[in-house]
Chains A and B, each alone.
Chain A
């Protein structure tokens, strides 16, 4: 029976020396679905997509793309996968049009249709007016859009984006996210890795929380939030021994978890209102100078804190 999934990765494993970089990861993505891999740097996201795209041999497990096994040597499944690497994988000495044309040829797009396809992608990524300029002269956001355009040139069924908005200004980031939303709407399966919670929340139909090379939880955002239960998040900013205070917070009755990063303390509690006073008293006792306090409903960051015991930026 034919699979309904564009991507089926099962039991993927990868080890580098003593480091188990990826541990038994399984992912399925249907056409038109956007699937997010949410995790901090070094959590195994890039290693996972490298195996999915046939760039890295897996130590174990299997990758099927449209039912075809993907390995480092198979060519057929690569024809329907578009990769947008985290690095700006473009040629700065070539124009935007030349970059797209070059990769279009590599993917075997016939000459008769290549030119029209290049123009179409240039329009989608909003670079038609700069198509004849060398990409080395582009702004960071324009380079990112061209980076995405190259991944789209051959009309892939599966688009794999590895942190495509890193180092991009807010305006360009919004433009990139809009483009990805349109692609998913057009029926392309999207695998999106990020360590930005808000991007995963905005784009992804399903999200996997990955940490330490393994998927700690996955599902729709509602499913994931339900994992946290009714816990709310108390977000406190300030100065002083915040990391030490986080340890102390975990011992307070009613606190489900706590973590500290970048001068911000996150505390999960079933009843934030009831726990808040105790938390603030304890912080004062610890010598933390509090700048702001906010209580938030559960979101993906709360989920991440709940399932990993640390904040996404740890």
Chain B
């Protein structure tokens, strides 16, 4: 064990001297996370629920117009929409064209009389901005919903009239009241998995997981390079067990991986306001992720014959796992190919584990830790079996 530690110490000194640890393990993920967060932060986690700017021209100015205004007021009060009142259709059209509102409702003159008294059809027109499809669709849905409420209220009132509960001259008022009192349907996003990382934390975690593959992958590539440069022969000529060379390099790689992640976590907390949740459990997730990455990279490197070949293979595998695991951009869908394969990657389990820690779901976090350790043990075991041939005289 002392020999392995001596080799590990030498490895650490080399990595720090050649700056590969600093550049790959700390600087690259931190700088890229900062840029990604700056550019994509609101895409990953919108800062607030959307509010739709809508306009209204009430040319009816009667019972149904009043009911419609009350419905919009309720939507405004809930923060779902802002409503601007216009006197003319021309003014509303200008506002839509200028982008001040996403869509404007035009309530036609005589709408209440036509619907409530003459029992005729009326049309609420919507002026929409072609570039703001969502706002236009929301306006369309709200108008449709209002028409539905009026129709339902009308049936109820007709029934009340038939039953003698109201008189014919009360019909119009009753329908308008029912429409106004009908609950306005608003959308509320309910996240099944609400324990997600804030954008800064997400990018730091995702990118550090991506780059950590290259830090831990150096254990095998350095072994292959030592063989090429002749220093491995010198190590094997020394009175040490060949296994201690592999163990020493693995200790160094895992140690540097954990150190890099820890530095990133602290630096991103201070510089970018990243939030990691319970530090102890977050640390356990990080350690498990580094072990998983080390296992996979040992296996991949073990398939190679030269250091260059190992680096190429490790780059392809690291990049693929990062893409599939959603460490660059989150996979938001629960359907399709990506959703079904993401959890075959340690990257996805790492992000999930950190998300659980962030949301206080420690039981689920430990489940992620267990899966990550399993990755490390299975691939690491197979990898060590492959790497054994490199130190076999």
Contacts and interface: CB of A to CB of B under 8 A. Distances in A.
A107 B3 CA distance: 9
A78 B10 contact: no
Interface in A73-109: 75-76, 78-79, 81, 83, 85-91, 93-94, 98, 102-103, 105-108
Given A91-B14, A93-B13, A98-B13, A57 B393 contact: yes
B234 A89 contact: yes
A111 B382 CA distance: 37
Nearest to A72: B393
Interface in A31-75: 50, 53-57, 72, 75
B230 A91 contact: no
B238 interface: yes
Contacts of B239: 75-76, 78-79, 106-108
A94 B237 CA distance: 20
Contacts of A57: 393
Contact of B238 (A72, A87, A88, A107): A107
Nearest to B7: A106
A75 to B, nearest CB: 4
Contacts of A79: 239
Interface residues of A, number: 31
A93 B18 CA distance: 7
Contact of A106 (B18, B229, B233, B238): B238
Contact of A78 (B13, B18, B231, B237): B237
A236 interface: no
Interface of B is mostly: helix
B240 interface: yes
A134 interface: yes
B14 A89 contact: no
B193 interface: no
Nearest to A51: B393
Nearest to B6: A105
Interface in B233-270: 233-241
A168 B345 CA distance: 51
Contacts of B3: 106
Contacts of B389: none
B3 to A, nearest CB: 6
B231 A94 contact: no
A152 interface: no
11 contacts: A53-B237, A56-B393, A57-B393, A78-B237, A85-B233, A88-B229, A89-B229, A89-B233, A93-B14, A105-B6, A106-B6
